Structure 1
Amino acid sequence: MPHAELYDDIGVGYAIGRRTDPRWMAAINDALCDADSVINVGAGTGSYEPAGRTVLAIEPAREMIRQRAADTCLAVRGRAEALPLGNDASDAALAVLTVHHWSDWRRGLAELRRIAARQVVLAYDTRRHADFWFVREYVPEIAELERGRPSATDIADVLGADSVTPVPVPWDHNDGVFPAYWRRPAAYLDDRVRRSCSALAQTDPQAVERGLRRLRADLDSGRWYDRHRALFALDEWDAGFRLIVAGR
């Protein structure tokens, strides 16, 4: 399903679960370096748009644009694969957790290079996501979805990245991205949490429901805590998120 159709369908209430985490925002700001102007491609509801810079958001889904706060930057509809901008339109192009949704991700990355000398992309290692305990133990069907998505290493190779930096997920992460609740398993029983996770929204609902029943039973019995006791000694965890920077 194309990005726009997907998020017009599943994006209702997305802004509630997907909020800015200041620790991730700080890392993105550092990666943008001294860029005065930024094009945020696949901008969604505007969770990671830097302050103090001139920012234009490009987003294909009307539902996502509708949920943008009144104080966010100007947003226009557009697809990553055919950005409605001229060459060298901005100092930097930003793409946060969006490349895996593009219908032609290589073409989209070429567009990022066309519009800006510097590209900053937050992506993830699909193998790490596929091995996340929720996938491995409860909804293994998600692994098939992940195998069909570009991984951070693929994106870095195509961009000719200058740096690839791990971005860990704190245990109290504010942004409800899929693995955000790695130490808070009961959160996955909340329908509002699941609605903001595209991996769950794109997986067979019956498979997800079966997995949730098993998770609920394991939480009630204490089996989940017995298996994952070591996680509670960690303040952050590497879920495979990588900040990729290319260009000057």
Structure 2
Amino acid sequence: MTTYDRIGATYQHTRRPDLRIAARIYAALGDAGSVINVGAGAGSYEPPQTVLAVEPSAVMIAQRPAGAARALRASAESIPVADDSADAAMAVLTVHHWTDLEAGVGELLRIGRRRVVVFTWDQAVFRRFWLLDEYLPEVAEYVDAHSVPIDRLTALLGGGTRVEEVPIPYDCTDGFGAAFWRRPEAYLDPEVRAGISMLAQTGEEVVRPGLARLAGDLASGIWHDRHAELLDRETLDVGYRLLVADLDERAPRDH
């Protein structure tokens, strides 16, 4: 059973793609005429030119919408398709779940002819997010242990990989970890937490005391006083990053 066979059942409700983030991902894919989405989940952020979705969880595959690209149940570390099978390979908020990062990135580079696009986060920035810093230090430790350093990813993807900051809008429709940076009450909703892997995997017993303090600070107004500077912001950099590796600028690979 994969992680998302256990925690992915609510994704259709709480993890709806945000069109502004989608636009950034599509821009990074550029003129790629065909795309393979690795760690595809329920299909968030798949562009129309997606030809294959690779996903190990049957629960997530079952939530893919009608008309979505064909899904192949397989792991990122071993994808049973030919070399250079698509113009681009993409991986969205998934690399931290892979059991063998080197193998998974190697597969992205193998199946993508021209470009690899990875959406992830920089833990050095993300760790300063108020939810982790002030209320859930245990979750911060969990994320420290499971996150993938940006410099490690760029080294694996190769020289010339560019890193782009992706600020998160205050009304982000995709309920990932820091999406509710200006809507703190959302973290008190069990359904929202079920769609955030760092909270779902840490467990309710661990997060309950910190969330109780958050609830108290919201009720008293302490949170709003402490974070007044956030309340008028439209976007915030909480560490999310796009990594773009242009493979056609490199020497041909041996096959």
Q: CA deviation at 1:205?
A: 2.3
Could you tell me which residue of structure 2 aligns to residue 59 of structure 1?
Answer: 55
SS at match of 1:245: strand
How much has 1:126 moved relative to structure 2? 1.2
The answer to whether residue 103 in structure 2 is matched with residue 107 in structure 1 is yes
Query: Which residue pairs with 1:74 in the alignment?
Result: 70
CA displacement at 1:34 relative to structure 2: 1.0
TM-score under structure 2 normalisation? 0.93
> Is the 8 Å Cα contact of residues 123 and 151 (structure 1) preserved in structure 2?
no
Q: Which deviates more from structure 2 when the two are superposed, residues 56-65 or residues 136-145?
A: 136-145
Structure 1 vs Structure 2: percent identity of aligned residues? 49
Report the 3-state secondary structure (helix = DSSP H, G, I; strand = E; otherwise coil) of the residue aligned with 1:181: coil
- TM-score of the aligned structures, taking structure 1 as reference length: 0.95
Shift of 1:162: 2.6
> After superposition, what is the alpha-carbon deviation per residue over 1:26-77, rounded to whole angstroms, capped at 9, x for unaligned?
11111111111100000000011002x1421000000000111112111110
Q: Which moved more, 1:145-154 or 1:105-114?
A: 145-154
Cα distance in 2, alignment partners of residues 153 and 49 from structure 1? 25
Residue range with higher mean Cα deviation, 160-169 or 187-196: 160-169
Aligned to 2:153: 155
SS at match of 1:48: coil
Q: Structure 2 matches for 1:121-140, cutoff 5 A?
A: 121-140=118-137
Which residue identity does 1:164 align to in structure 2? V
The alpha carbon displacement at 1:204 in A equals 3.8
Distance (whole Å) between structure 2 residues aligned to residue 54 and residue 203 of structure 1: 33
Q: Give ranges in structure 1 of 5+ residues lacking alignment.
A: none
Give the count of matched residue pairs: 244
Deviation at 1:210, TM superposition (A): 0.6
Question: Where do 1:174-213 residues align within 5 Å?
Answer: 174-213=173-212
Shift of 1:178: 0.8
Q: SS where residue 40 of structure 1 aligns?
A: strand
Pick the aligned partner of 2:44 from 36, 39, 47.
47
Secondary structure at 2:61 match in 1 = helix
Gap regions ≥5 residues in structure 2? 249-255
Answer whether contact 1:81 1:111 (CA < 8 A) is retained.
yes
Across the aligned residues of Structure 1 and Structure 2, the Cα RMSD in angstroms comes to 1.1
